Amino acid sequence: MLSVVAGILVGAVGIAPADVVAALLGGGDGPSVTIVRELRLPRVLAAALVGGALAVAGTLLQGLLRNPLADPYVTGTSAGGALGAVAAIAFLGPGGGVLVPLCAFGGALIAVMLVWRLARIGGRTTVLAVLLAGIALSAFAGSLITVLLVASDRLALRLRAVLDVLVGGVSVRSNAELIVAAIVVVAGLAGALALAPRIDAYAFGEETAAALGVDTQRVAFGILLVTALLAGAAVALAGLVGFVGLVVPHALRAILGAAHRRLVAASFLGGAAALVLADLGARSAFAPAEMPVGVVTGLVGGPFFVVLLARQQRVLA
């Protein structure tokens, strides 16, 4: 909540806090009203949605795979979504606006189902198998994106849109897009909260979950579906934003414990706050030039991931 306030108050153009409040309430003078209401507010809301969605998706994947190193980015789910989004931009052109999120969801779903299948070869999911499957998928999706970029002259014309997807920058092209994304993310959050107690049952692994009465096939599919919804919405809004889904649930689990209903709710709020702050940093570090937020999360999350990986050595061995 605080970070949302900060995100609206601070920006590339200095505007006095009193003017910001006035602009939000409908008063104030011309340019600052436009900047606050049409640029900053949607962008902060979008960053909150993206951060919340990625953190919840990360929580679900970590619980299902019993793997603290899983998130939509590391597992290649986001890359699948990005491929879907780029394909939509390439093949559908300017008219493809509404289909971009849909294709992002489709790509994310295919990717996350593949990771799930690949990670389970041999009957049990290991941390290593998940990471390797994620690397393979990300590389494959990345190559296909490059093929699309080279092969399609339409993409050259829409380079900015493609770049947004690949680098991870929060960009809101229309209010309609924001509203659709908000509906999808809220639906995903509701699904995640409903699934949470059954994810708890995976604490001792899939077989014990089944012994505890979980219909493991249906629940796993539900988790993957919700994950893809959330990751797809995040990719459609902000492209490839790494590590939010990894760091936020991990940090909150250490504080709040492992029960997933509490963790899902907290991750949504924590992820939203984290990404709004990261986006704020991205906007202000080199103001008036703006960095994509994916750069900030990568700078923070990359080292965090390495530290986690080092601490997981015994699991990997």
Partner 1 sequence: MTALVARGVVAGYGAAPVLRGIDLELSGGGVVAILGPNGAGKSTLLRVLAGLLAPSAGEVRLDGTTLSTLSRAAIARRIAVVPQSFELLFPFTVREIVALGRTAHLGWLGSPSATDRAAVDRALAELDLDSFAERRIDTLSGGERQRAVLAMALAQEADVLLLDEPTVHLDPAHQRGTLLLIRELARARTLAVAAVLHDLNLAAALADRVVLLQDGRTVAEGSAAEVLRQEALDAVFGKGLRVLEAGEDRAVVPLRP
**Chain positions contacting partner 1, by CB under 8 A:** 63, 66-68, 194-198, 200-201, 203-205, 207-216, 253-254, 257-259, 261, 315
Q: Cβ closer to partner 1: 119 or 275? A: 119
Q: Cβ closer to partner 1: 173 or 218? A: 218
Minimum CB–partner distance for residue 191 and partner 1 (Å): 11
Q: Cβ closer to partner 1: 37 or 120? A: 120
The radius of gyration of the chain from alpha carbons, rounded to an integer in Å, stands at: 19
* Residue that the structure tokens 């789910």 belong to: 77
Minimum CB–partner distance for residue 253 and partner 1 (Å): 6
DSSP 114-133: HHHHHHTTTSS--HHHHHHH
Minimum CB–partner distance for residue 219 and partner 1 (Å): 10
User: Which residues, 6 or more positions from 31, have their beta carbon under 8 angstroms from its beta carbon?
Assistant: none
Minimum CB–partner distance for residue 185 and partner 1 (Å): 20
Distance CA 34, CA 7 (A): 16
As to burial, measured by CB atoms within 10 angstroms (0-12 exposed, 13-18 middle, 19+ buried), residue 251 is middle
205, two tokens:
């692994």
Q: Cβ closer to partner 1: 47 or 199? A: 199
Minimum CB–partner distance for residue 196 and partner 1 (Å): 7
* Phi-psi group of 18: left, alpha or beta (phi > 0 → left; psi -120 to 50 → alpha; rest → beta): alpha
Longest CA–CA separation in the chain, Å = 65
Q: Cβ closer to partner 1: 211 or 287? A: 211
